[in-house]
Structure 1
């Protein structure tokens, strides 16, 4: 019996052992099959997490850019390369609060206009600051898909790193990514991680990560989703302080190759470790780490601060490649400490002649993106050097030079003239945003070259489908500011307007783009009613006015006032009366504190008062507040006698009406009394010479005096006195009684003191906003009397008699000017 029970027990044990063994083998096979299926599926389909991340990135705005950036820059959006696409993301840096930014050194003010529509300041050489404002750059670029499909994009923002072999020691070249292992080998490596576990040395962890980083890009997603890889990352954190500098850099390079998301929590720990070691690292290691962080797309402001502090001890080791790479890091970080500006400028001037064409383009881009204000001499020498190698520069490099010139307001005429030859040749191959930056730079510099404008205008219809609303708005503004008329390229403005309409959805996030485009169209007399209805609608106005980053009410005010004057039959929406009054007060307060106090304006006002007989015959105010500039208004009756102006809401220098003032004003109408002494002073002689009867005297003519060169002192010239001028001064106060009955009872004059910032560069063509104002003054019945800078400024240091003579001719010559017109 006992033997029988023992036999049954042994059979039971054998059966149970077989059952356990069967389930164990089946479980392993099922797990292996599941892993194999997951790997195969991951090779062909992106993970759910990655899809969700991609959708979230498309919905969310980009990271904040540099607060003072004139223009948000993202080269991959319009100059695509295989390297950029392989990275799959662009690098942005958040501004550091304790690193001061530097203003542009040549941003000259325009003292005759309210200078900024979105930033009330006269420190810029622009009329409507548009996308160049501080707030505009904080908004970042609109995340739209248009720029990523531009077929004409041919450029690489990191191309300069292939100019010299020295860059290999301090940069990460994505194109040199070695592919030595496949997915099976990666799986074996991860299996070793589970076997070794906590027994791995820091060198083992670094070695495993480096080998995994040799996977093809399309296989890295499989590894990142493996739990064993997460275990390896945990071991890397445990070994973080034990890594050598070289191992730490190799691990960071592996993260780049593996496409680790820039938001991964482990990267914060690595940044802290790099910050701790920055003072111990060598020059090339410091630059390499910064370049790897850029490739990861991670903002590392703390590390950049440490780098900028530590780099000072290596200035004697910095050669041309190190300098260019340092500037590249500065540009990508959108910041440069004040303490580095002068040393960098000295290094740049020392190595300037050794820099190659693509390196020069990278330097210009970095200076633009970091808003680093070098001296005018340094920037001019830099552009001199780029001009010498312009034939060797890529389209991308040329655009970068234009950006730097736009930021610096550098009037480098040889370069601009060279662009008149280069742009027509290169335009057919340039991307839409590259074309936009070319005309935007010309607009900022007030430089009109029809060869450049026509070449860009003719190419734009072919690439407009890739435009963002931001690009369209800036191109409309640029062409219109330079006075490029619709007749010069009939398809330009209709095509841009059409694309602007198609991008209507973007105006919900970026209302400033619609206003920029509509103001540009208004400059050239184009008024698309559907877009105007949208811009002046209550919903859009509320959205624009509620913006915390941009001041758009002035733009709305300018657009509304233009519609009221130029579209008399307009039945669409308009701004409220309360908003108009509020913006008018704000503009006038600024004008009183700034524009009205300019010496040339005060002198013109004073001389006109003396000429006409008193202060109540001249009114200094904004005739059209929505145009943001002042005029000196004068009224003349049918006999060309000055009439007093009644006081208004913006007039402070007019006396109140009363009996004493009424009795006295007629006595002041006599103006300036001309005597023999005055004429002798004007003609610089004691007595007018008498010519012999048999000798004929050639009659001189009054001519405009223009400086020979732009930089010549304007006070070295004057206005010549002629027989016509003397005759105008001495003619009888009684005018001809033969007047046209159809003429109004009095003439309204708008006397404008203009300056060179209101004209295209070295020309007498008014820029967009000023041409719009001139047109609207004429529509309102004013006769514009201009005191141009090339005539009035030289007179500021002349005698009072010469100023009065000049103004007399200007004010009392409208009949002749009408006949001439």
Structure 2
């Protein structure tokens, strides 16, 4: 006898005296490697000394130097956040340690009327973020590959009025050249005018970057910061922007309390600023890496009010800023879409990449027609696009789930040509998009697989796990590249510590391996250990129960001699029940499922010959199970005891839309393999074949099902 089952896959103000007491301590950006023992002693001496009537300037920067990046990092680059909209991977962060210094300044700087100043220097500092300037062209994954996310600014000279070119740093001067300026600051003191303050900052910003830590602990520089706040309301808008630009070159940390006062002043002046000035201000804040939601809201309002002034540079820069702010107001989406369609044919290759990245980072959905036009435009320029721009187009396709066949076919030509010069992150995004769109092309996968093993030392656990997931989902077999899976699996072993912070990454990688029958037992033992399971379940923003359940079920079937840890029976029952309730309320009610169940009952002779259930609950899908004897006669499914000589057949209908050149991927392919291991035979009913039949006559549906089931005998 035989049994058949139809399966469906189941488809984030203090007082002046208090201020005086709090103005004695300042903390500066400096790597520990840059501090000599003598300097440390001097710093400690300053910290322990009591200065009568001193003041404290509080800010809490963290070192920006490459030494802060390590394999156990808690925060990764800002661009990493964009990766995390797929596979439920969430934005990571990097542990960084601050070096604290104390700097004294004279009590004569005080003024009893400067409320803004009190607010600035009494505010508790926020955790530090690295500046965009210091991470420009630094790629932690692959030091020999440089990526500039702001390369689009080179496309047109007009960008100079709305953005800062970080490659055009002022010609550096030495420490001896700025000493006279600092001396002027100490002489002028309260006699400084706004123009003096802005000019001092402009000249000091030319100091060689290596000497910036020395400047920041100079009490005359602290004095200048204080007077800049005192004169803040007297600055013209151009002077404000000039000082803000100086802060970029001076690498003022984003948590510095003085920036809060500048932000408030720029928000207050928003109505006095032109669209270009607001775009430039937003870009300068971006270079400082300070979050400015209130100012961005004013920029959004201003943009909607000045649509007639928006050309290509303003449009692209606005989308870039929206992406970096991770938010696009709903009332702005329609305007952006119309402007994009109007200017599309004038966009340069890098500008198209920036548009796609901005829309991706801000999770902004535009119409399918508009997106298709954008990708068509990218396709016409694809050979001129940088690797970074190509990856950005792929990211937005992944977010939008748009299957743009001509573009993907072009990738089959471009990726093999580009892969050898790409870094890990770009390659990961290419693979992840192909996975999300269920587009398997061996030219693309082979080129990526050949490039990855040499780059494994530069892979974060996040990169390795997402690559494993993507390749596993696409059914790229280990035999197709013998070093690909072993090298990435070994990288997971080298970075086990990272999974204490990101348990979801380990589960992502192990499931990707399970899809292609790879089961590294040491890593599985870690993932199913009580401590790791407890850690994974503590995550309130992630639902990892199903991933744990799927991994555990796969181990039970494919590693029958497994003696390592397993999930408790209670846990398995709880998740299975949760999944079944979901299936009953969602998948079981879909027209294609109901119609298949009804047609099978008519074909085989009644309800008793068809059973709808989850045969393998860990595969997260329902099944329509039927039993046939060796002569093809249907047998009731419900009897609890089935004769041993009877075989079980499964007819599987996937609810996912598969592309014509594919049919089984990832979880569904693993399910089919495991059903066969459990003694079932599987017949696949392609959704693209079955759905059109829902509109046909009953006889056509029965004929189709009869053919599928009995031809498999």
1:807 paired with 2:701, answer no
1:557 paired with 2:557, answer no
Q: CA deviation at 1:359?
A: 1.1
Match of 1:536 in 2: 528
User: Is this contact kept in 1: 2:394–2:433, CA < 8 A?
Assistant: yes
Q: 1:481 to 1:425 in 2, by over 3 A?
A: same
Match of 1:704 in 2: none
Report the more deviating stretch, 608-617 or 444-453: 608-617
User: Is this contact kept in 1: 2:74–2:501, CA < 8 A?
Assistant: no
The correspondence of residues 171-570 of structure 1 with structure 2, limited to 5 A, is: 171-179=163-171, 181-570=173-562
Correspondence for 2:660 among 736, 756, 762: 762
User: Is this contact kept in 2: 1:332–1:369, CA < 8 A?
Assistant: yes
Q: 1:249 to 1:814 in 2, by over 3 A?
A: closer
Q: CA deviation at 1:262?
A: 0.9
Mark the runs of 5 or more structure 2 residues left unpaired by the alignment. Answer: 1-33, 44-59, 98-134
Q: 1:46 to 1:548 in 2, by over 3 A?
A: farther
Q: CA deviation at 1:801?
A: 2.2
Q: CA deviation at 1:204?
A: 1.3
The correspondence of residues 638-657 of structure 1 with structure 2, limited to 5 A, is: 638-646=630-638
1:137 paired with 2:84, answer no
1:153 paired with 2:145, answer yes
Q: Distance in 2 between matches of 1:814 and 1:545?
A: 43
The correspondence of residues 662-677 of structure 1 with structure 2, limited to 5 A, is: none
User: Is this contact kept in 1: 2:61–2:253, CA < 8 A?
Assistant: no
* CA shift digits 1:220-255 (9 cap, x unpaired): 221111111111111111111110001111111111
Q: Distance in 2 between matches of 1:180 and 1:806?
A: 76
Q: CA deviation at 1:636?
A: 2.3
Q: CA deviation at 1:635?
A: 1.6
Match of 2:56 in 1: none
Q: 1:355 to 1:808 in 2, by over 3 A?
A: closer
Q: CA deviation at 1:500?
A: 1.4
1:574 paired with 2:583, answer no
Q: CA deviation at 1:72?
A: 1.9
Q: 1:513 to 1:777 in 2, by over 3 A?
A: same
Match of 1:791 in 2: 689
Q: CA deviation at 1:455?
A: 0.6
Q: Distance in 2 between matches of 1:811 and 1:298?
A: 62
Mark the runs of 5 or more structure 1 residues left unpaired by the alignment. Answer: 1-40, 75-129, 649-656, 658-742, 816-821
Match of 2:12 in 1: none
Correspondence for 2:618 among 621, 626, 632: 626
Cα root mean square deviation, aligned: 2.7
Match of 2:19 in 1: none
Q: Distance in 1 between matches of 2:248 and 2:375?
A: 35
Q: Distance in 2 between matches of 1:44 and 1:442?
A: 53
Correspondence for 2:81 among 60, 72, 86: 72
Q: Give the TM-score normalised by the residue count of structure 1.
A: 0.72
Q: Distance in 2 between matches of 1:383 and 1:143?
A: 39
Match of 1:101 in 2: none
The correspondence of residues 87-126 of structure 1 with structure 2, limited to 5 A, is: none
Q: CA deviation at 1:749?
A: 2.5
Q: CA deviation at 1:516?
A: 0.8
Correspondence for 1:780 among 678, 691, 695: 678
State the SS of the aligned residue for 1:635: strand
* CA shift digits 1:487-540 (9 cap, x unpaired): 111111111111111111111111111111111111111111111111111111
State how many pairs are aligned: 620
Q: CA deviation at 1:172?
A: 1.2
1:610 paired with 2:602, answer yes
Q: 1:162 to 1:791 in 2, by over 3 A?
A: closer
Correspondence for 2:582 among 574, 583, 590: 590
Match of 1:753 in 2: 653
User: Is this contact kept in 2: 1:42–1:221, CA < 8 A?
Assistant: no
Q: 1:45 to 1:610 in 2, by over 3 A?
A: farther
Match of 1:24 in 2: none
State the SS of the aligned residue for 2:552: helix
Q: CA deviation at 1:791?
A: 3.2
Match of 2:109 in 1: none
User: Is this contact kept in 2: 1:753–1:786, CA < 8 A?
Assistant: yes
User: Is this contact kept in 2: 1:330–1:366, CA < 8 A?
Assistant: yes
State the SS of the aligned residue for 2:164: coil
Q: CA deviation at 1:168?
A: 1.1
Q: Distance in 2 between matches of 1:216 and 1:64?
A: 25
State the SS of the aligned residue for 1:777: helix
Q: Give the TM-score normalised by the residue count of structure 2.
A: 0.82
User: Is this contact kept in 2: 1:43–1:219, CA < 8 A?
Assistant: no
Q: CA deviation at 1:63?
A: 9.4
User: Is this contact kept in 2: 1:43–1:222, CA < 8 A?
Assistant: no
User: Is this contact kept in 2: 1:64–1:138, CA < 8 A?
Assistant: no
Q: CA deviation at 1:753?
A: 1.9
Q: 1:754 to 1:518 in 2, by over 3 A?
A: same
Q: 1:63 to 1:425 in 2, by over 3 A?
A: closer
Match of 1:113 in 2: none
* CA shift digits 1:417-450 (9 cap, x unpaired): 1111111111111111111111111111111111
State the SS of the aligned residue for 1:72: helix
